[in-house]
Structure 1
Amino acid sequence: MDAYDALPFPRTDVALSTLHFVKGIEDPAIFDHSLRSYLYGRFLGERQGLLPDRDYDDELLFLGCLLHDAGLSPEGNGDQPFDIDGADLAARFLTEQGLSPERIEVVWDAVALHLHYEVAVRKRPEIALVTAGAGLDLGDDDPPVLPADCTDHVHALLPRLHASAVLYDTIIGQALEKPHKAPPFTMAGELVRQRTQETWPTWQQLMSQPSGRHDYDGYQPRT
């Protein structure tokens, strides 16, 4: 795609097919965020001494970044939290592209874990750098990591288009339509709570529901 010739993306068949697919289903702001996540993930990898196609599979990192928010597209909006919906959509699409199950599993993990920083960063670089790159694009840059001229160049080619606001509104929109996609104590659930001012149940209330095991019946607190 001519618009991205100046950017160091993999040009394999599956990478280009995925680029076209994601561009066709995602809001432009989310699509640009996904591409910036890849660039910033690579950058963070280099700061750790990790080079593409020497220390990690660059195609898998690219696919994971491209697809990490696919669950926020109309095609990806199923009945699970958006990170899991996105991982399942990624797996279906990459299976159709003929990618091996072993490689698909890496991308699935990268997408499914991208909201769970403490877990993702302990995984292989193709997974860890998806989470790190996405977080850096959304403002996790204190103290500054990216040189100003780098971000200026990237934003000139991939404008932000109010990315954080669009992500928030899309997550909220899905969750208000399907509340089970944003259960209590999840990131999506917290965003819904902030928007609606709904009060979350306490741990004891959750455990005391009729379907619970009645662990609090007759219980005397130890402190």
Structure 2
Amino acid sequence: MTCDVPDHVQNSTDGRASDATAGVTALPDTPPARAALGLVTAVESDCIANHSIRSYLFARLMARSTGMVSGREYDDRLLFLACVMHDLGLAPEGEHTQRFELVGADRAAEFLTEHGLPAAEVDAVWEAIALHTTPQIAERRGPLCLLVRAGIGVDFGGALSAGLDPMAVTDEEAEAIHGAYPRLAMISSIVDAIATQAAKHPANGPSYSLGGELLRERGNPPRPTRMEVAALSSRWAG
């Protein structure tokens, strides 16, 4: 499973980005960032990997919209790592005996520890990934958790974090991001992956967790979940 992701920092849809979108699809070019991106594109489907990358790009734009400055209010390195690895728990291989948010957080923490990140930074990324589906709590755990959840929310078509406006992302910026990292069948792929993991083991989808609820809503025979219906009627139409 691979994703067509340029290796350089300044990427764009066609190499002729306008002034309004210059740099909007730029990715961090550090060894941990490159390694994390390589891991994600190797183990996740293209549509889920693209979603993770877009979530970072949207999160960065949401930070801009609120006046947050990288290096002052938030750490862009950690924002990228948390966003790009937030769905590692949906990768099909490996044991899945707890909800996917924790599987992904644990896997990301192990990976970042192996790549030499300090324990405090590893813990910050773990927390942001573990809480990314948890409304109200994530927003109160600092800028990293808030921005990760916000970026993911914008990619699903709306803001998940209180006080953040997804319309702060311009149509030009959204077009550049979606051109570089197409949506493909993102929403159905993510719902299928979460429901599939939840169905494998009771601990993967506890009652009232996202996994448990999506599995219940998906039903048998399968039917669209509320998440899918909402995304299809959102700004990105899926």
Are 1:82 and 1:181, in contact at CA under 8 Å, matched by a contact in 2?
A: yes
Alignment match, 2:229: none
**Matches of 2:108 and 2:94 in 1, distance apart?**
9
Which of the residues 48, 66, 73 maps onto 1:30? 48
Aligned-residue offset at 1:19: 0.8
Distance change (3 Å), C-alpha of 1:194 and 1:172: same
Which structure: greater helix fraction? 1
Q: How does 1:1-223 map to 2 (within 5 A)?
A: 1-2=6-7, 5-6=10-11, 7-75=25-93, 77-140=95-158, 144-196=167-219
Task: Report if the CA contact (8 A) 1:76-1:86 is conserved.
Answer: no
CA distance in structure 2 between the partners assigned to 1:181 and 1:130 by the alignment: 22
Q: Which moves more between the two structures, 20-29 or 73-82? A: 73-82
Partner AA of 1:126 in structure 2: L
| Whole-angstrom distance in 2 between the partners of 1:77 and 1:49 | 41
Task: Check 1:27–1:3 CA distance in 2 against 1; reply closer, same or farther (3 A cut).
Answer: farther
Gaps of 5+ in 2: 1-5, 12-24, 160-164, 221-238
**Deviation (angstroms), 1:192:** 1.0
TM-score, reference length from structure 2 = 0.78
CA shift in 2, pair 1:129/1:143, >3 Å: closer
Shift in Å, 1:66: 0.7
Q: Deviations over 1:170-222 (max 9, x none)?
A: 0111112223211111111111111227xxxxxxxxxxxxxxxxxxxxxxxxx
Pairwise CA distance, 1:11: 1.0
The CA deviation string for residues 132-172 of structure 1, in whole angstroms up to 9 with x for no partner, is: 10011011158733211111111100000111110001011
Superimposed CA distance per residue, residues 34-53 of structure 1 (whole angstroms, 9 cap, x where no aligned partner): 01000111111111110222
- Opposite residue 133 of structure 1, the aligned amino acid is G
Could you tell me how far apart the structure 2 residues matched to 1:170 and 1:94 are? Answer: 24
User: Structure 1: any 5+ residue segments left out of the alignment?
Assistant: 198-223
Could you tell me which amino acid in structure 2 is paired with residue 47 of structure 1?
A: S
Encode CA deviations 1:102-153: one digit per residue, 9 max, x unaligned: 1100000010000012111112212210011001101115873321111111
Aligned to 1:212: none
| 3-state secondary structure, aligned to 2:116 | coil
Q: Which amino acid aligns with 1:115?
A: T
Partner of 1:215: none
Letter in 1 for 2:10: D
After superposition, the CA RMSD in angstroms is 1.9
Report the Cα distance in structure 1 between the residues aligned to 2:198 and 2:37, rounded to whole angstroms.
26
Q: By how many angstroms is 1:57 displaced?
A: 0.9
Q: State the shift of 1:78 in Å.
A: 1.9
Kept in 1, the 8 Å contact 2:9–2:28? The answer is no
User: When the two structures are superposed, what TM-score results if normalisation uses the length of structure 1?
Assistant: 0.83
Count how many residue pairs are aligned between Structure 1 and Structure 2: 198
SS at match of 1:144: helix
